[in-house]
Amino acid sequence: MGGCILAARGIECPAGAAQGVGFCRMGKKYALFLGCTTPIKVPQYELAARWIARRLGLELVDLDDMACCGSNQINLDLKAGLLMAAMNLAVAENHGLEMVALCNGCTGALAEAREQIINNEGLKDWINRKLSPLGLICQGKYPVRHLSRVLYEDIGPGRLKKMLRRDLSGFKTAPHYGCHYLKPKAVYGGFDEPENPKTLHQLIAATGVSAIDYETLLLCCGGKTLPNSQEVAFSLAGLKLENLRDKRVDFITLQCNTCYIMYGLNQNNIAQKLGLPPYDLPVLLYPQLLGLALGADPVADLGLHLNTPSPLRLLERFY
C-alpha cells in the first residue's frame, strides 16, 4: 500500500501530528466506488473529486468490476441488497484497498454491509457461499468511507487551509450533510455527531467560505422517495429550499449526488410543483468548492458549467 514516506518508515510525520492523526497519510491508495448515479447523472462530481485527489496526492484506483451498491434493493430483499454490497467490498478486498465512495447512500450501504458481515457469522457464510461462483470472498477487512470523511480524517481542514490558491472569503454557504453521511452512528464509529454535525462546516471553513447554521440543517433531501412518491420527495426538498430563501446564502454545499439531484437538478421543478417563486440558488458539491479554493479551472477541472442552477455568476469576481 502506498503512503507517506515517513509513515512507511514508521516515523511520525510532523504535519500529521499537528492534525492529531499521528501519521501523515498523504499518498495513500483507495479503491474509488463511483456508484450508479454519479458517473451518469452528476459527472462533474466525479471530475472534481478526481481533480482534488490528484492535487492532494490521494490515489484513487478504479476497479471496473464494481457495480451497484444495493441500497435500493434492500427494499425488495434485504439479503440480496447486502450481497450486492458485499460483492463490491470483496472486489476492493481482492486488491487490498480500502474503499472511498462519493455518494452518501453508497457509503451507508457498503459500511452497513461490512458491519453486518463482521458481526453476523451466519450472514457472512451465506454471502460467501453466494459469492463463490463469481470467484470472490468477502471478509469485511477494510473500512468504507465517504470522500469528505477521508478529506477530514486523512488530510484535515488545517492542512487544506495551507494549500489554498484562491481567496473565497466573503461567500456564504448553507452546508447540507445528507442523512447517510452521519447515520447510523454505530456503523460510522461515532465519526461525526448526527444531531449536531461539524465536519462539513469545518471542511467548508477551511476553504475560506463561511458556513451558516440554519433550522433545517438536518432535514433529509427526500431523494430516496422520488421513485415512489414525487409528492413526498419534492415536499421535503421544498422545506429546506424555502428555509434558505431568506438566509442570503450564495450557494448550497453538499456532498452527495442524490441530494444534488433534489436541490440542484430538481430545484425548478420543486418551485413549480409547490407553486412558489423560483429559487435560483446554485448548488456546489464539496469537491467543486475545494477545487475552486485550490485553484482549479472551474470548467475544465470542476465542471461547474454542468451544475443546475448555474453557479458561474459566482465566479465573476475572479475575472
Partner 1 sequence: MALLAKGAAGKGESRSFPCLTALLAKGAADTQSIKNYSKRYNYIKLKDIIKDKKYNQRNIKEKIIMLSEPSSGEPLSDLPIKVSGLDRNFRFKVAASYPLAQELNACLTCGTCSAGCPVHRVFPEYDPMKMLRMIHLGMQEELFHSDYIWYCATCRTCEQRCPQGVKFFDILNVVKNLAAQAGYAPSAWISQLEQLRQTGAVFPTEDTWVARRRELSLRPLKNNGERMSRLLSEAGL
Question: 255, 240, 232: which is closest to 108 by C-alpha?
Answer: 255
User: Measured from the CB atom, is 142 or 214 closer to partner 1?
Assistant: 214
Instruction: Kindly determine how many residues on this chain lie close enough to bind partner 1 according to the rule CB under 8 A.
Output: 69
Cell reading at 40: 451518469
User: Measured from the CB atom, is 199 or 225 closer to partner 1?
Assistant: 225
**b (16+ CB within 10 A) / e for 189-210:** eebbebeebebbbbbbbbbbbb
Q: Which amino acid is located at 30 in the chain?
A: Y
For the window 23-62, what string marks contact with partner 1 as x by the rule CB under 8 A?
-------------xx-xxx-xx-xx--x-----------x
Distance of CA 248 to the CA centre of its chain: 25
Among 19, 73, 148, 307, the residue binding partner 1 under the rule CB under 8 A is: 73
Among 12, 18, 65, 165, the residue binding partner 1 under the rule CB under 8 A is: 65
Give the HSE-up count for residue 205: Cα atoms under 13 Å, Cβ half-sphere: 12
Torsion angles phi and psi, residue 136, rounded to 5? -120, 155
Please tell me whether residue 231 binds partner 1 under the rule CB under 8 A: yes
Where do the DSSP E strands lie in the chain?
Answer: 29-33, 59-62, 99-101, 144-146, 172-176, 210-211, 251-254, 283-285
Among 13, 15, 84, 103, the residue binding partner 1 under the rule CB under 8 A is: 84
Report the interface residues with partner 1, using CB under 8 A.
36-37, 39-41, 43-44, 46-47, 50, 62, 64-68, 71-80, 83-84, 87, 105, 120, 123, 130, 133-134, 179-180, 183-185, 194-195, 215-216, 218-220, 222-225, 227-229, 231-233, 235-236, 238-239, 242-243, 246, 274-276, 303, 306
